[in-house]
Every structure is written in C-alpha cells, then in structure tokens.
Structure 1
Amino acid sequence: MPTSMCGMPVDPALVKAALPGGDTLTSATQKPNGGTVRCNLSVDGKLVLSLAQAWWSEGHTTAAVSQAYPGTDDGKLSDDLRFLHTGQAGVGKTVSSCKASEHPEQDLYTTVETRDSGVDDPAAIEKLLVAYTKAVEGSAACG
C-alpha cells in the first residue's frame, strides 16, 4: 500500500480498511472542474474508492454538501458538525483557516466514496475521512 494517495499522505492501513481484497492497487488523479480534485483508487482494474476535495461557496453546512454525494443518506454527523459519514461514503469540512486565493469566499470540503466495492464499514470510512481531511488541511490546497 502506498503512503500517499495522489500526493496526499494518508496512513495505508486506513485506506486498506476501506478497500475490498485484490492483488493490484492503482490510483489516478482527475480534475473534472476548476474546484475539484479527485483521487480514484482501483483494485485489479476496477474503480473501488474515490477521495476528493471540492470547493463550495461559504455558508453551506456539511449536511447540506453531503446531499450532493451518493451514499451519504442518513449519515452520522460528528459532534463538531464537520464530518458526516455512512458505511460507504463521507463528507468532511476543512478548518475555517483553509483558504485559497483562487477560490475566494469558498470552503474546501473532502469526500470519501466507495464504488461498488462491497465495503460497508462506518468506522473505516470515518477514520479515512478524518485522516484525509487532515492531510488536505496540511497541503498546498489550503493556501
């Protein structure tokens, strides 16, 4: 397991817990629009997990943003309201100090989404989501 997911340092054990079994893990970075960076992980050539960071205009809540992502319905919201997750997906909000000049008046969110992998593990998704969000907060993405 690599110690970096598309340039973000994430504990390999946390990633592995959210993946199905298989022999070969590959990752690919996608930038579908100006405010989103997605890291797609495939096992044996099949897309199984997607980690993403996306800018949303200020004033949204994690619960509201999560509605744009599949697999988050009826998710568990963290006490600080920054994270929402289910056994298949999660959305996190970076700290308020995470800003970028090219994205004025926007907040950076992170997402973890399983893709037809058979994984349904709320604890694994939560741990990976929090770790990935912290990695993004410590990266160049946060100004």
Structure 2
Amino acid sequence: MSAIRVRRGMRPAVVSIAATLLVTLSGCGGKHEKRDYAVPHSLCGIPVGSETLTSFLPGGRKLTTKQKLSDTWGMRCEVRVDSRLVAQTSLQWLADAPNTLYFVGRQNNSKLDHRADNGRFLYSGWEGFGETRNCTSEKLLGAHLFTAFQMESPDHQDADAMKQLITEFTNAVEKTDICKEGKPFPR
C-alpha cells in the first residue's frame, strides 16, 4: 500500500474539504427522515399496499386521512403528514367516459408516460389513474367508476411502485359496496 502524503501547506485545505464533505453528506439525509407514524393499510376505508405506499411517504410525527365528498359523483381521501398534504386518492363516477384517458383529461398537470393493461392504467413516477371493471351505477346514468392516486410532491418518483399502487388500489375499490352496488357517494 502506498501512503498519501500531504504537504504541510495543504493540511488546512484537506481539513476544510473534509469538513465540507461531512456537512454536505449529513444534509443528504433529508429524504430519509424518521417516521414516527405507522404506515396505514387502508386510506379512507380502501385497502392499500402499505409496503408500496411507504416509499412515497415523508418522515414526520403523525399521519392522518380525511374523506371529502365533492358530490354524489366523487370522493377523495386526503393524506396528511404533520398537517401537510402529501397524497390524495380519488374515486369518480363518470357517465359517458369511454376510458381512463378521458378521465385523466379532466385532471390538471398530469404528465403520464406509462400505461398498463391496454390503457386501463395510466401513470407516472408519482401519480396514477385507473378504470374499474364492472363498477357501473344505474343510479348515476350508467356511470363507470374511475380511480386516482396522486402524490402532492414529485420529489420521490418510482413508476413501478406507482403502477403497483394504482393497480392494487383500483382492484381494492372493485371489492367495495360502492362498486358492487353502484352506490352514489353520500352527501
């Protein structure tokens, strides 16, 4: 092995560089903040794969969910960590909606570069949209039920994980009474 020789005049520079590296590397830990909360197995009553969801959630002390109804046609679930909105899921009945692409066209700023199951699922690294199978509401003009799972920050992106998340979420919605009975959302 050869020894690294440092000239006397370079010692302060080496110490300075080492100190800068230490400060820089310690600042990189922000994305791996500690979670004091348990990652939920469901969001507003709809089961989710907590292992898949974990990679998208930030550190913090407390996770809360709140269901919000827009009308009998739509419902969303807000996910907050320490009062900060971090994710949102949506269920939306749409009449005359031929596919997921039509549903996504109603969303703002969606840049979906992946598709699965012949376009049934459209997703990116931080948001996904899906169409349920056999979820039709005769009470709402024969509307079909669509799903969305959107992270509020694109800081962490993982297209494979989002595909799994929107697929699992949509499949779980298909097993609910909302789907099976074609129920409008309560006001």
Q: Same fold (TM over 0.5)?
A: yes
Residue 96 of structure 2 aligns to which amino acid in structure 1? E
Structure 2's unaligned 5+ residue stretches are 1-38, 182-187
Match of 1:60 in 2: 98
Give the 3-state SS of the residue equivalent to 1:94 in structure 2: strand
Larger Rg: 2
Structure 1 residues 1-143: aligned runs within 5 Å:
1-95=39-133, 97-116=134-153, 118-142=155-179, 143=181
Q: How far apart are the structure 1 equivalents of 2:97 and 2:76? A: 23
RMSD: 1.6
Equivalent-residue separation in structure 2 for 1:53 and 1:130 (angstroms): 14
Is residue 110–residue 133 contact of structure 1 (8 Å, CA) maintained in 2?
yes
Distance in 1, matches of 2:52 and 2:163, equals 10
User: What one-letter code is carried by the residue in structure 2 that aligns with 1:111?
Assistant: A
Per the normalisation by structure 1, the TM-score is 0.89
Q: Secondary structure at the match of 1:20?
A: coil
1:97-132 per-residue CA deviation (whole Å, 9 max, x = no partner) reads 212332232110000111136222212211110111
2:112–2:122: 8 Å Cα contact kept in structure 1?
no
Matches of 1:59 and 1:25 in 2, distance apart? 34
- Structure whose residues are more often helix by fraction: 2
Other structure's SS at 1:99 match: strand
- Could you list the structure 1 runs, at least 4 aligned residues long, displaced by more than 4 angstroms after superposition: none
Number of aligned residue pairs: 142
- Per-residue deviation, 1:77: 1.6
TM-score by length of 2: 0.70
Work out whether residues 93 and 108 of structure 1, in 8 Å CA contact, stay in contact via their aligned partners in 2.
Answer: yes
**Partner amino acid, structure 1, of 2:139:** E
Distance 1:128-1:138 versus aligned 2 partners, 3 A rule = same
